[in-house]
Structure 1
Amino acid sequence: MIWIKRGVVRARQYRQETPPIKAIRPIRSMSQFDHLDLDGHLLQLLLAVIEEGSVTRAAHRLGVTQSAVSHLLDKLRAITGDPLFVKSGRGIVPTAHAQLLALRARALLDDLRSFSHAAAFEPAKISAQVTIAANDLQRDLLLPSLLRYARAQAPGLSLRVIQSGAPTPEMLREEHCQLMITPRPPEGSDIMQKRLFEDSYRVFYDASQREPPRSLDEYLASDHVTVVYEPRRRLDIDEVLAERGLVRRFVAQVPGFGGIGPFLRGSRIIATLPGLLRAYMLRGLAIAPVPVPCPVMPMYMVWHLRHHDDPLHRWLRQQLEIVAAPSLAAAAEHMPAVA
């Protein structure tokens, strides 16, 4: 009995001397966050940090402070239950989960843009920048006319033009560009395309240095220069002729059509390229038929499925189709006769 009483006394003393424990507010788990905690700004922030690879650069791009980006990233981490980014060298890289979220974020932002434009699309009221991927031939041929024509109706529109190189589906899927102009559309069930025009291949040469190759033997015996896009992707015509077993001697390879002219002028080198290049980039050089049958070179505009019904995107594609024919006609005025 004494031992029990002492235990009771000690228990009473412990209850009297120990301060009450304060209730701790539990941290919300991912499942406790409402989906309405997400908004377009958070989605845009996620994409900016992924694309810039830096919180500082993302803040500069978004026009906010670095601490604001860090705070919103913490909120996004809590919502998604994922760290989203990990350190890699001097920068950060997205986690696998963040990369998956980025795909959904782009689609959701596209839906939000479409929602805001769905009621009534008025070109005169838009304020937007559209990124178009195009190599130098189609850039010089089409995009200046497109910009002039489109801005006459939509003064708030601007274009950002990037090199398409050897185009991939990821350029469209990951929103590196919203539209692509290329003779080689990337493949994918989510990739849309429409042919704009086609061109014929010609032999370019400096008429002050040589005569055009009149036969296949003369053609194969000549020195050639061509374009090879990274990572080592040849022009269609080069692949077609190689598959036919026609071996040519390439003395130079350049990453774009703009680099061809200096190799031809003042030399006996020739190049087999789309004939439309003679209108602008290779003006002043002579042209001749290729002494072997060649396929035509088609040119397509290409876009992602998510932009197919977007009012702004649909309108811009229509403008590109409208300016294609006049642009080709204007180019024809600058073209020399075929030798």
Structure 2
Amino acid sequence: MSNFDHLSLDGRLLQLLVTVIDEGSITRAAERLGVTQSAVSHLLDKLRGIVGDPLFVKSGRGIVATARAEELAVHARVLLDELRRFATAAEFDPTQLAATFTIAANDFQRDLLLPLLLDRLRAAAPGVTLRVIPSDVPTPEMLRDAHCQLAISPRPPEAGDILQKRLFEDSYRVFYDAACRTAPDGLDDYLAAEHVTVLYEPRRSLDIDNLLAAQGIQRRFVASVPGFAGIPSFLRGSPRLATLPGLLGGGLLHGLASVAPPLPCPPMPMYMIWHLRHRHDPAHSWLRNQLEAVVPLALGHSAGAPEHA
């Protein structure tokens, strides 16, 4: 049990913990903070006494954080953001905002939502730019470490410091080239066809593929691609099928016909996901509101995809 009062904690100690973890070195942490190595060591000793944990242990020529230190760093980042907001509290004005928002999204979410979002952001905040990175399967770490401010995915990571909100849900459709074949006539015809799907690296299947496989539905996959953008070239001019989110019909799969799957499929939800430290941040709240506002428009744009009964 620590003999120190928790009130001995201050922002400098929290920043020290985060910096040493980020740098993985006392020397580099000291350089980044503009203090001596002995000052870093002294403050680490004080922090160890407060939390009752060694925080860092030697590993080869360097140091590694203990599990307790990693856990504390998650909370430290939240507290540091709260301290910054406390010191700079003011009415939020998007016209004065100069920032780059990094959003993690795969090609489906990216093409459906983010061009519309950028238009809306730029209209209200000319100083804002958007950086888009692949989300793959979002992890808590990519949000904790400020790798991105927001992720859009059907798979929110499960962690106590990660928040989420459902944006919409989509229905699955079976896509095909109507110039080369008719819609699959029942389950037997569906299973007899050749199929194309998306397989994210490293070998992460779509939720619908995992679900059907778990039900014993065996399809004959002849190709897999790393994103939805690769699907159309494998369908056009062929009798192949692809079972994918229906909203793709208004974007990446425009011009291909689609039909409801010949077996029950649950809807696919889509979430925006962010870290707890951004919960009350005015700029981040504004960003989330802008993303929610473009969803109805995006869904309306995608409503005219070719379909066959």
TM range, smaller chain:
0.7 to 0.9
Q: Which amino acid aligns with 2:197?
A: T
Q: Structure 1 residue 277: deviation in Å?
A: 0.9
Matched, 1:79 2:27: no
Work out whether residues 77 and 84 of structure 1, in 8 Å CA contact, stay in contact via their aligned partners in 2.
Answer: no
Does residue 164 of the first structure (1) align with residue 132 of the second (2)?
A: no
Matches within 5 A, 1:45-194: 46=20, 49=23, 68-69=31-32, 72=35, 74=37, 75-81=39-45, 94-96=64-66, 99=70, 102-194=73-165
SS in 1 for 2:253: coil
CA shift, 1:217, in A, is 0.3
Quote the sequence identity (%). 54
2: CA distance, partners of 1:268 / 1:99: 52
With over 3 angstroms needed to count, the CA separation of the structure-2 counterparts of 1:47 and 1:155, relative to structure 1, is farther
Deviations 1:156-190 (A, max 9, x none): 22222221112223332333222111112222333
Aligned to 2:252: 281
TM-score, length basis structure 2: 0.81
1:197 to 144, 150, 168: 168
Residue aligning to 1:26: none
Q: RMSD value over aligned CA atoms?
A: 3.3
Q: Secondary structure at the match of 1:290?
A: coil
Whole-Å Cα distance in 1 between the matches of residues 125 and 14 of structure 2? Answer: 25
Do the aligned partners of 1:124 and 1:153 also contact (CA within 8 Å) in 2? yes
- Are residues 1:261 and 2:225 paired? no
Q: Report Cα offsets for 1:242-276 as digits up to 9, x if no partner.
A: 22221111112222212222222232221000011
Aligned to 1:234: 205
**8 Å contact 1:225–1:269 — kept in the other structure?**
yes
Number of the residue aligned with 1:337:
307
- Which letter does structure 1 place at the counterpart of 2:108? L
Indicate whether 1:296 and 2:260 are aligned.
no
Match of 2:89, as an amino acid?
A: A
Q: Does 1:250 align with 2:221?
A: yes
> TM-score, normalising length from structure 1?
0.74
What is the alpha-carbon distance in structure 1 between the residues aligned to residue 117 and residue 56 of structure 2? Answer: 39
How far, CA to CA, are the matches of 2:13 and 2:159 in structure 1?
Answer: 30
Q: Name 1:28's counterpart in structure 2.
A: none
Amino acid at match of 1:79: L
**Radius of gyration: which is bigger?**
1
Q: In 1, distance between residues paired with 2:58 and 2:98?
A: 35
CA distance in 1, matches of 2:278, 2:36: 28
**Partner of residue 276, structure 2:** 305
For 1:270 and 1:88, locate their aligned partners in 2 and report how far apart those are by CA, in whole Å: 53
8 Å Cα contact 1:142/1:327 also seen in 2: yes
Summarize the Cα distance change of 1:225–1:308 in structure 2 as closer, same or farther, 3 Å threshold. same
Stretches of structure 1 that go unaligned for 5 or more consecutive residues are 1-33, 59-66
- Matched residue type, 2:133: I
